[in-house]
Amino acid sequence: MSEPEAKPSRLPRVALRVLITLAALGLWWWIAKVSVAELAGAIARISALAFLAAIALTLCNLFVGAIRWRVLLAAYGARTAPSVMTLARVYLVGMFYNTFLPANVGGDVLRGYVTRGAFDGAAGGYLIVAIERAFGLAGLFLLAGAILYLHPIGDANATAAAGLALLVGVSAIAGPFVAQKLHRVLPGPLGDLARKLPKPVRPALFFFVLCCSLGTQSVVALTGHVLLASLTDIALAETFILVPVALIANYFPTIAGLGARETAFVVLLALVGVNEADATAGSLGMLAAVLVVALLGGLVHVTVGTGLETQDARDNDEPSGEG
């Protein structure tokens, strides 16, 4: 009898994540040079009402994301799809994994698994989640580009920066469709992945998907504004440009985005005169709101589940067709 194959240790990955987090925190400290007393004082000035509003807005953002996901499934002709409320619950649970696992993708794997039977190939559900991510990125850059064009920030060439942001946004939308057309010339795994991309059957729905993406990024910006406005005088247009862009740092494989997000807040908000302590406090306030919602997702997972357990049981009970 052969011995079971040993699973690879997760310790190196965890250690690497801790090291990256420490490096990011070191970079923040080197740039910000904020004392503990200054940071504690700034955090204490965030009102309880502002923090509760940030939590409510984070939950609202999650629900809009679930609507976007459901519409995108319809646009690609999914045979079956869970209800928006079920998708919102899965989104909430996925947020727990996205927050506490490296690279911010653990929850996306769960979301892809949820819709594994919606298309002919099992990969379809996962690819739809990737496309939804692309639309989210497009919404971020389109919103930031449009507002930057209307409300320039700093001394840089705002028109050029806005044009670049808009170009990135359009590219994020076009990317999956271009890849599907070019799958024959893309090398190896990239070509196989592009070939498996589902084909849109209701492309008119993409406009609504994009509107949802603009909505999610607007809610993110408003969350940051609520927290920062309780600390300093900052214009709504400034947070609508800078906060969503700063949160791209959450994609770095640090523990809950620590260090990378704070560095981005300090560097970007300095463009509009926000001091390092207030910028860091606003960043940590957003982190705290996300942690509360993510932990709620973990609680939902262990108490209620994702709502898909019944479906899995039903699938397992179906006759296999074997004699």
The DSSP code sequence of 139-177 is HHHHHHHHHHHHS--SSS-HHHHHHHHHHHHHHHHHHHH
Please tell me the predicted confidence (pLDDT) of residue 219: 94
Residue 91 lies in a domain: yes
Q: Give percent above pLDDT 70 in the chain.
A: 81
Question: Which residues lie closer than 8 Å to 99 by C-beta, 6 or more apart?
Answer: 256, 290, 291, 294
Q: What is the pLDDT of residues 194-244, one digit of tens each?
A: 677 777 888 888 889 989 999 999 999 999 999 999 999 999 989 988 898
| Domain residue limits at 212 | 37-123+203-306
Residue 30 lies in a domain: no
CB 39 within 8 Å of CB 61? no
What predicted TM-score, i.e. pTM, was given to this entire model? Answer: 0.82
The residue count for the chain: 323
Residue 69 lies in a domain: yes
Mean pLDDT calculated for residue range 156-172: 72
Please tell me the predicted confidence (pLDDT) of residue 320: 38
One DSSP character per residue, 227-277 reads HHHTTS---HHHHHHHHHHHGGGGGSSSGGGTTHHHHHHHHHHGGGT--HH
Nearest by Cα to 110 from 100, 122, 98: 98
Residue 27 lies in a domain: no
**Cα Rg, the chain, nearest whole Å:** 21
| Domains contained in the chain, number | 1
Residue 280 lies in a domain: yes
Residue 102 lies in a domain: yes
Q: What is the pLDDT of residues 81-121, one digit of tens each?
A: 888 998 999 999 988 888 876 545 567 777 888 787 777 76
Residue 151 lies in a domain: no
Please tell me the predicted confidence (pLDDT) of residue 322: 39
Residue 68 lies in a domain: yes
